[in-house]
Amino acid sequence: MTTALDTFRALADSTRLRILALLRAMELSVGELAQVLGQSQPRVSRHVKILCDAGLAERRKEGSWVFVALGDARRTGPVFAALDTWRSEGEDHWTLADSARLAAVRADRAAAAAEWFEAHAGEWDAIRSLHVAEEQVEAAMLAVLGEARIARLIDIGTGTGRMLELFAPRAERALGIDRSSEMLRLARAKLSEQGIANAELRQADLYALPMSDGEADAAILHHVLHFAQQPAAAIGEAARVLGSGGQLLIADFAPHEREELRTREGHVRLGFSDAQMLGWFARAGLAPVQTQTLEGGALTVKLWLARKTGRPGEHLPVSEVKAA
């Protein structure tokens, strides 16, 4: 009864109903909500707090921004079912106005993302020119992970969200994490533009993933590990959130001697050997399934696929790992 009362009290305001409708469309910052609603940020924050206290919304801080998303589906689902049932013929003027302003927010995000990419295109192109075309890497990753549906996917170090663009359509739910709030804003703009609604973004560290033990069915580390000070710990944390039989796919470089990438681009590790990767897999309770080598250019890209066994210290002999 208390839960029902809290829910109905939270819904007993037109602004809060508008906020829920907006969050149903996409995750928004408090500032963006204020922009769409035409209200001050402090006032919007008070409404958001009431919704969060009732479990209908969740707040997450990313740098100086606070983003708001829908709460647990078990709480919000019945609310939306009731609201949909009670919806009158035709949309009211507030719904139409909010939809138009929400489109403007999407456009602002897309413009900011385009500006950032244009400013950094030279840096990205310089690194990409050193290895096989990214399209080939992505095609190989899609093939290695297979076509089976994924219940829960996590993209660790999601950056601009490219892996979520590729793999979220295969997943029921997807989560992308990154330490950079700037990267998350770019990813949010791209996913919104692509209409990908089942992907969630959070600011988090790859050594402390915002998931419970065994919650994920697949995890991806795409060109992330060479930035990690502790690759073994990053792999161990990815293994922690995988359920039994869950898969970890890593795409990174084979060992190389391009020292300028360390000094100029911040690469901590100059690639990884199969022996290193298999050792880390064993320590994390992961059994190697497949390796693939993608040559072409000064840098060789490697794919490593492993499966959670739940038995740290056990792994297949190197000779039994499927290689391509």
232-243 residue pLDDT tens? 899 999 999 999
Angle between helices 2-11 and 73-86 (to 10 degrees): 50
Q: 323 with 302: CB under 8 angstroms?
A: no
Quote the pLDDT of residue 62: 65
Residues 193-214 have a mean pLDDT of 91
Could you give the residue ranges of the DSSP H alpha helices within the chain?
Answer: 2-11, 14-25, 30-37, 41-53, 73-86, 93-128, 134-145, 162-167, 181-194, 231-241, 259-265, 274-284
Buried b (16+ CB within 10 A) or exposed e, 170-189: bbebbbbbbeeeebbbbbbb
| The token pair that represents 16 in the structure block | 């809060």
Quote the pLDDT of residue 73: 83
Quote the pLDDT of residue 130: 74
Instruction: Render pLDDT for 10-47 as a digit per residue (tens, 0 to 9).
Output: 999 999 999 999 998 888 889 999 999 999 999 999 99
Q: 301 with 318: CB under 8 angstroms?
A: no
Quote the pLDDT of residue 265: 73
Give the pLDDT band (50/70/90) at residue 183: confident
CA distance 7 to 75: 9
What is the value of pTM for the model shown? 0.73
Looking from the CA of 200 toward its CB, the CA atoms found within 13 Å total 23
Give the pLDDT band (50/70/90) at residue 94: confident
CA distance 20 to 158: 27
Per the listing, tokens 């305001």 go with: 13
Which helix (H) or strand (E) segment holds residue 59: the answer is: strand 57-62
Tell the burial category of 109 from Cβ atoms under 10 Å away from its Cβ (0-12, 13-18, 19+).
buried
Per DSSP, the three-state class of 272 is coil
Lowest mean pLDDT among 61-65, 81-85, 237-241, 282-286: 61-65
Residues 47-65 have a mean pLDDT of 87
Quote the pLDDT of residue 316: 40
Lowest mean pLDDT among 84-98, 175-189, 209-223: 84-98
